[in-house]
Amino acid sequence: MTRIRVKLGGAEAEVEADAEHLREAIDLIPEVAAKLPVAGARDAEGLRAAAAEVARSGQASGPAGQLPVISVEKGDSLADVIGKFFADPWGRERRKLSDVREALQTYGMNYPKQSVAVALLRLAKATKIRRFKAEDGEFVYTASAMPYPASSLPSAVPTLEQAAASQNTI
């Protein structure tokens, strides 16, 4: 396996392929680079042509065409990757099964429709994402409500100062 890493500013993307498909992986570099968040104006000039080409091909047009920006680790399961998609701002919009499959394919993950549907259903049953029927009868998925961080929850155990103050109020 050959691994090619593209790094622009603080963002980076990695393409991995075997020797037979190395040429195809090299051809993917401009597409991958166009999808990286741009760190500065000088990087933007170099990527404008590639981004325009991707937009013209219809892969990145409109809100449905935007892709989630995540980091896929080697040991991530399908459900882990989909969960990361919905943790991204991309997941706050209504997404159909086809949107999720398209996002997976941009990361080089080609899963059957049934596998993705089962993973989405399991995430919904675990309340990690929300699932409901759209007006057209097809299921759509969105990020579930974000839990409050532990630091913002009120403490059930009063501090020493709070306990002393409550006893002095009698």
- Write down the pLDDT at residue 139: 94
Range from 30-34, 116-120, 138-142 carrying the lowest mean pLDDT: 30-34
- pLDDT tier at 158, thresholds 50, 70, 90: low
List the structure tokens of 84. Answer: 């990361």
SS3 assignment, position 140: strand
pLDDT (average), residues 6-13: 67
Q: Cα dist. 86→83, 115, 146 in Å?
A: 5, 17, 11
Q: Which amino acid is at 58?
A: G
Structural domains of the chain, with CATH: 1-60 (no CATH), 62-170 (1.10.10.10)
CA-nearest of 146, 100, 91, 138 to 119 is: 100
Half-sphere exposure of 146 (CA within 13 A, CB side): 9
Q: Compute the Cα dihedral for 143, 147, 152, 154 and give only its sign.
A: positive
Does residue 133 sit in helix, strand or coil?
strand
Highest mean pLDDT among 1-10, 52-61, 115-124: 115-124
What mean pLDDT do residues 138-156 have?
65
| Residue 82, H or E segment | helix 78-87
Q: With a threshold of 0.75, does the pTM exceed it?
A: no
DSSP secondary structure letter of residue 6: E
Asked if residue 16 lies in contact with residue 2, where contact means CB atoms within 8 angstroms, the answer is: yes
49: phi then psi, degrees, rounded to nearest 5: -65, -45
108-119: pLDDT as tens digits: 889 999 999 999
Q: Side chain identity at 95, as an amino acid letter?
A: R
What is residue 74's three-state secondary structure?
coil
What's residue 126's pLDDT?
93
Q: What mean pLDDT is predicted for residues 92-97?
A: 93
pLDDT in tens, 35-88: 766 544 344 444 444 444 444 444 433 444 578 888 888 889 999 999 999 998
